Each structure stands twice: as C-alpha cells, then as structure tokens.
Amino acid sequence: MSKLVTIFGGSGFVGRYVARRMARAGWRVRVAVRRPNEALFVRTYGAVGQVEPVLCNVRDRESVRLALQGAEAAVNCVGILAESGRNTFGLVQHYGALHIAEEARAAGVARLVQISAIGADIDSDSAYSETKGRGEAAVRESFPDAVILRPSLVFGPEDQFFNRFAQMARFSPVLPVVGYFTRFQPVYVDDVAAAAAKAAMGEAAPGIYELGGPEVRSFGDLMEEMLEVIGRPNRIVLPLPLALGAAMGTVFDLVQSLSLGLLDNKVVTRDQVRNLGRDNVVGAGMPGLAELGIQPTAMEAVLPEYLWRYRPAGQFYEIREAAKRLRP
C-alpha cells in the first residue's frame, strides 16, 4: 500500500499544489480542512480514492489527532492573513502548529513540514509575524527534525495579491499602495509546493529554508509590472505613507470590531501595515530553493497565464493590439 501524507489546509492556495504533487508521486493524500464539502475538487488530483478531504480544525487537538492516524508525513499549510471571528493569529498559527507538531510526534509521523513566512519572529510587533514565529518555535521543540519553509510573497493563479490589485485596476484609475518601496522576492506557488513535497518525502535536510524567486522588486515595481501585463499602464500607482496606512487600518479594524465581525476588514489592517514597513526577502546565507534543487520560476513566465482576464479585451487583447499596429 502506498504511503499516506496528511496535508492540513490542503485545499488552500499553497496546499492544493502540495496535494497535487504528492498524489503525482504516488502517495495517498489526506486533505485536512474545516469544510470538506468545499474541498471535493482535490479528489481530481489522483486516482479514485487516492486524495480525500477530511474534517479537521487545527484549533481542535482531537481532530488533528484523528487526521494524522496512519500518516507517514504531514504538511501544515494553515495560515491566515487577517483575523476573523474565532480564527485569531494565536489560535491558528501558534496553537494550530503546536497541536500538529505534538500530535504528529505522538502518532509516530516520520516527517513534518511547516509552511511559515519570511519575517516570522516571536519578538515582532506584528501579530501575524509573531505567531508565525511562535508556531515555528513550537514545531522545533516538539518535532526537532521538522522542515520549516518560509516563503516570501507567493504568486500564482489563485493568489490574493496580483489578482486583487488587477481587479482594482479594471475599474479604478488610481492604485493606492501602502509600503510602495518595501521589497519582496515573489516565489511561484508550485515552487513552494515542490519544496514541501521534497521535504515530506524525505528529500530535504531538517531545518529552516527561506524561499524566494529570482527577482527582488519593490511593491510599487510589482504594481507597474502587473499593469503592463493586464494592458493598463495608464493607471496611476499612488504611494501612501505608512502612517496614513496605519490610520486607515485602524478605522477599518474598528468597523469590523463594532460590527461584531459581520463586516470583515478586507482592505488593510493595522497588522498588515506593520509588515509592509519591512522588506520581505530571503536572508543572507539562508538555504532556499537552490539547496533543495529547485530552479525558481520567473514572474514574467507565469503572470500572463492568469492575469489575462483583467485585460481590456481579455484573451483577445494581444490580437486587438496587433491589429491596431497593422492599420495604415
């Protein structure tokens, strides 16, 4: 019988790519998610019965224990960008990682992979980064041989970064950007998945790896490149001071709080602004994709493949532009 891997958050942005890679490698894949009925699409990643979603909430230790039964490896892809209801940074990113690491050790799981983030630090002033750091510490303490992956900004067809701003650019002549000069090292989602799969299959040494793509760009430069790809270079990218972003985040956070969570802050939070004040690039001397034998994918090779739908004429944009050049 083939080996079993449990992927927590295996239907999410990164998790689905990890699940697909593990299935292609011949593993049985258990996708542990809060809403299995919304994750049925993962079954198509393998043969009948090879990939199955199961109910699990990482806040609940017992459900984590059940999800790990019989697993040879586990990958934790669970994370949130903003708090909502009971899904707080602490409960999800710290205690969720703790539950997984402790239960994986108790269940005799051979390998554990934790998807963290560049900037994870228990001393950070950002709750997101602090709890990522605490999650890492919990994993290292309970499962010393774990592999921890810290990606920079992750891009791909389902991302919430380029898709979000490209959608805004369809209707708005101005794109306000908080942290215009903050640097990122965008990494392709399937490269992150390849790293996680290698680690889960025992092809990576234990330790921390920071994952970044071949280019380091400022937030503003990323917006300019995105606008070129979607054929809307006339849009204005407007830098906003961090202080103004923090004030906006305070207002939107307050609205969410006063509405008792009925109105989620999907614009910008105070915590996100704190992170936007720091560069998000691979640290000097940190092992990364190269040490894992993975060639990083350039943005220009991928962005046009999924951002075309935001162009003025969609898939026919390039044909229309070429026709214009042929006119006398």
Rounded (5°) CA angle 93-98-101:
120
* Per-residue model confidence as pLDDT tens digits over 294-317: 999 999 999 999 999 999 976 766
CB 290 within 8 A of CB 211: no
Positions of E strands within the chain = 4-8, 28-33, 51-55, 73-76, 111-115, 147-151, 154-155, 174-178, 183-184, 187-188, 207-211, 217-218, 236-240
Residues 6+ apart with CB under 8 A from 14: 77, 115, 151, 154, 189, 192, 193, 196
Mean of per-residue pLDDT scores for the chain: 95
pLDDT at 85 over 90: no
pLDDT at 325 over 90: no
Q: Using CA atoms in the order 174, 176, 181, 183, what is the torsion angle rounded to 10 degrees?
A: -100
Q: How far apart are CA 86 and CA 254, in angstroms?
A: 17
pLDDT of residue 316: 63
81 exposure class (CB count in 10 Å sphere: 0-12, 13-18, 19+) = middle
pLDDT of residue 253: 92
What percent of the residues of the chain are helix, what percent strand, and what percent coil, each to the nearest 5?
45, 15, 40
Q: What is the pTM of this model?
A: 0.94
pLDDT of residue 321: 64
pLDDT of residue 128: 97
CATH entry 3.30.430.20 includes domain 4-156+186-214+280-296: no
* Per-residue model confidence as pLDDT tens digits over 90-115: 999 999 999 999 999 999 999 999 99
pLDDT of residue 322: 63
How far is the CA of 98 from the CAs of 6, 37, 60, 90, 95, in angstroms? 16, 26, 11, 11, 5
Buried b / exposed e across 307-322, counting CB within 10 Å, b at 16+? bbebbeeeeebeeeee
pLDDT at 281 over 80: yes
Rounded (5°) CA angle 165-168-174:
100
Q: How far apart are CA 145 and CA 205, in angstroms?
A: 8
pLDDT of residue 323: 66
* Per-residue model confidence as pLDDT tens digits over 177-231: 999 999 999 999 999 999 999 999 999 999 999 999 999 999 999 999 999 999 9
**Longest CA span, the chain:** 74
pLDDT of residue 260: 79
Counting every residue, how long is the chain?
A: 328
pLDDT at 326 over 90: no
* Per-residue model confidence as pLDDT tens digits over 122-149: 999 999 999 999 999 999 999 999 999 9
What residue segments make up the domains of the chain, in order of their start?
4-156+186-214+280-296
Confidence of residue 245 (pLDDT cuts 50, 70, 90): very high
- Phi/psi at 145 (nearest 5 deg)? -90, 15
pLDDT of residue 327: 64
* Per-residue model confidence as pLDDT tens digits over 154-165: 999 999 999 999
Residues 6+ apart with CB under 8 A from 107: 65, 68, 69, 71
CB 144 within 8 A of CB 111: no
